[in-house]
């Protein structure tokens, strides 16, 4: 079935969806972005089949419209839809990382006969913008759909079938359940990571060596604190209820841990760490709610040429890397060379390469 898809917002997410949908010749993708340079780049790079300067006009010919914009901007677009002339059976979706506010607004659209199915592709990249867009961005990532109660099942199926081209793991969940789950595995950890960095910053004022030692495991553990501040300010405000619930639970957990340490009971302390280790060991290695860098830790000796040897081996196997860094402090990290890949497949190929073609040991954290 030939479909026309309008994508509003041609950044990393919108551009990557556009590229994925173009894998089928049955789809015609029209793109709009408020930034003229982005729109021009999308056209030149073939990210979309055509561009438009007037989304209100373009949507009249669309079967599906996806708002790949920040949540607050999407809410504004949804308000505009109320007064636009829309085609019958149009399906509207979004890509926002919080869903309750979006779906509250969607209920207003539903009352006007507009079909809106919330969406959240749980994928990302080190880079942003249309130049970083790629059709494989969502492969093996979770892509949540949050239809309202009473939504036309045929529309849900149609959107589900269309988005299969992303090769994501599509799941249908309730909007509040989505926000609860993402608060646990993504939003709350970002708050904790930022808090840990703030604590380090305060300690660093009294001892500059602290910052140098943090270059290893601490930096890896708090990587997500480097995310875009305005985006995370918006997310915290939009998912305030669930994030506060997790913070209250965290405070209670820290009180419990403090008591365990105060009692100085070796058995209790060991059980605390063992329980966490066992549960973490059972976590899947595939992509979850937070952007994964697919890191491989390689224990290489500290002598000239060892890093070049590793990168040469990977190059011979035509395995691309996105980042490479040396970890200087090694108390809690299994290797001193950390190599990042764009996909789990590339990391697995790299691990096999290191295993069979080098004397070095490696570890997947």
CATH number of the domain within which 38 lies = 3.40.50.720
> Do 62 and 198 share a domain, yes or no?
no
3-state class percentages of the chain: helix first, strand second, coil last, to nearest 5: 50, 15, 35
> Do 138 and 190 share a domain, yes or no?
no
> Do 263 and 208 share a domain, yes or no?
yes
| Full residue range of the structural domain in which residue 63 is found | 3-173
Report the CATH number that the domain containing residue 335 is assigned in CATH.
3.30.70.1150
> Do 129 and 274 share a domain, yes or no?
no
Task: Return the pLDDT at 224.
Answer: 82
> Do 276 and 328 share a domain, yes or no?
no
Task: Return the pLDDT at 52.
Answer: 97
Task: Lay out the sheet containing 295-299: strands in order across.
Answer: 323-326, 337-340, 295-299, 361-363
> Do 224 and 169 share a domain, yes or no?
no
Give CA 230 to chain center in angstroms: 16
- 3-state SS assignment for residue 326: strand
Q: Out of 173, 200, 230, pick the residue that ends a domain.
A: 173
Q: Is residue 287 in a domain?
A: no
Specify whether the CB–CB gap between 298 and 362 falls below 8 A: yes
Q: What's the N-to-C CA distance of the chain in angstroms?
A: 43
Averaged pLDDT in 10-residue chunks for the chain of 365 residues: 95 96 97 96 96 97 96 96 94 96 94 94 80 88 93 96 95 95 94 93 80 76 84 92 97 96 95 94 65 77 82 92 69 64 88 92 80
> Do 158 and 244 share a domain, yes or no?
no
* Structure confidence by residue, pLDDT tens digits, 325-365: 876 544 444 447 889 888 888 999 999 999 999 988 888 86
Backbone angles phi, psi at 183, to 5 degrees: -65, -35
The H or E element spanning position 305 is none
Closest CA to 45 of 33, 58, 57: 33
Q: Out of 252, 282, 312, pick the residue that ends a domain.
A: 282
Q: Is residue 80 in a domain?
A: yes
pTM to 2 decimal places: 0.77
* Structure confidence by residue, pLDDT tens digits, 217-253: 787 788 888 888 888 999 999 999 999 999 999 999 9
> Do 19 and 161 share a domain, yes or no?
yes
Give CA 246 to chain center in angstroms: 20
> Do 81 and 216 share a domain, yes or no?
no
Who's near 265: CB < 8 A, 6+ residues apart? none
Structurally, the chain folds into a number of domains equal to 3
Q: Out of 255, 282, 309, pick the residue that ends a domain.
A: 282
Q: What is the DSSP letter of 50?
A: E
> Do 217 and 169 share a domain, yes or no?
no
Q: What is the share, in percent, of the chain residues with pLDDT greater than 70? A: 93
């Amino acid at each position: 079935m030939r479909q026309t898809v309008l994508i509003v917002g041609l950044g990393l997410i919108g551009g990557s969806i556009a590229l994925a949908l173009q894998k089928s010749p049955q789809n015609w993708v029209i793109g709009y972005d408020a930034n003229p340079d982005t729109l021009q780049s999308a056209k030149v790079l073939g990210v979309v089949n055509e561009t438009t300067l007037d989304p209100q006009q373009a949507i009249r010919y669309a079967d599906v419209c996806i708002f790949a914009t920040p949540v607050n901007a999407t809410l504004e677009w949804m308000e505009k839809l109320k007064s636009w002339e829309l085609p019958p059976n149009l399906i509207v979706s979004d890509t926002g990382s919080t869903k309750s506010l979006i779906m509250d607004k969607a209920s207003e659209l539903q009352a006007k006969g507009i079909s809106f199915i919330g969406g959240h592709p749980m994928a990302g990249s080190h880079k942003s913008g249309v130049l970083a867009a790629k059709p494989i961005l969502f492969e093996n990532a979770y892509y949540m759909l949050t239809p309202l109660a009473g939504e036309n099942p045929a529309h849900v199926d149609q959107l589900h079938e269309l988005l299969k081209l992303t090769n994501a793991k599509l799941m249908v969940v309730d909007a509040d359940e989505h926000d609860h789950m993402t608060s646990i595995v993504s939003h709350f950890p970002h708050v904790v990571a930022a808090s840990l960095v703030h604590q380090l910053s305060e300690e660093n004022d009294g001892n500059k060596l602290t910052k140098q030692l943090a270059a290893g495991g601490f930096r890896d553990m708090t990587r997500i604190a480097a995310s875009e501040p305005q985006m995370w300010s918006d997310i915290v405000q939009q998912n305030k209820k669930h994030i506060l619930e997790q913070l209250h639970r965290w405070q209670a957990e820290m009180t419990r841990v403090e008591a365990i340490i105060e009692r100085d009971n070796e058995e209790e302390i060991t059980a605390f760490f063992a329980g966490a280790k066992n549960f973490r060991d059972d976590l899947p290695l595939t992509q979850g709610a937070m952007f994964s860098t697919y890191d491989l830790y390689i224990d290489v000796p500290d002598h000239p040429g060892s890093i070049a040897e590793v990168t040469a081996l990977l190059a011979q196997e035509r395995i691309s890397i996105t980042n490479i860094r040396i970890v200087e402090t090694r108390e809690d990290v299994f290797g001193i060379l950390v190599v990042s890949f764009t996909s789990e497949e590339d990391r697995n190929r790299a691990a096999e390469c290191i295993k069979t073609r080098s004397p070095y040991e490696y570890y997947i954290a």
